[in-house]
Amino acid sequence: MIIVVISSSIEAARGVFATIKSEHQGPTAALALHDIPSQETRERHIAAVKYERTESFITVVVNPKTVEEVAQLRAKGAVICHHVDALASIHKQLPILRTDLVFTTRRAGALNSALTVGELLSECKIMHRKSIRQGR
């Protein structure tokens, strides 16, 4: 399973990964694209990310830098998660689709439809299971 976290707050993105890692009962890997300046290297790493039909292994990809990188991850079956408290500069070009999830790191004043970080993993798993049932 692939989960993509898009946030201008690196601290929040790290918190999401830490929560997923602590709540998930299997191996979890992170790919922090914001730490990789070379587009060629980012593309190589994205190409190496494997879609797993099982939930036992989760890859969390943090902060793709281009719309094309997000499209490549979507094509691999990734669940895209947008941090509504800290929209990244990519959001100027990247629409939030109906199939995407939005999350917040705060409760007070948050959007009613935004998930907490604790709810995010559960929703990602539900979406992953639906895509498997639909033949993905």
Angle formed by the axes of helices 39-48 and 67-75, nearest 10°: 10
Q: For the chain, which residues make up each domain, given as ranges?
A: 2-104
Tokens of 43: 């593309």
Question: Which pLDDT tens digit goes with each residue over 18-67?
Answer: 999 999 989 999 999 988 999 999 999 999 998 877 888 999 999 998 99
Fold exhibited by the domain 2-104: Rossmann fold (3.40.50)
Q: Could you give the CA distance from residue 19 to residue 7 in angstroms, rounded to a whole number?
A: 15
Q: Residue 68 in contact with residue 42, Cβ under 8 Å?
A: no
Angle at 118 between CA 135 and CA 18, to 5 degrees: 95
The model carries a pTM of 0.90
Sign, CA torsion 51/102/61/37: positive
What's the pLDDT band for 131 if we cut at 50, 70, 90? confident
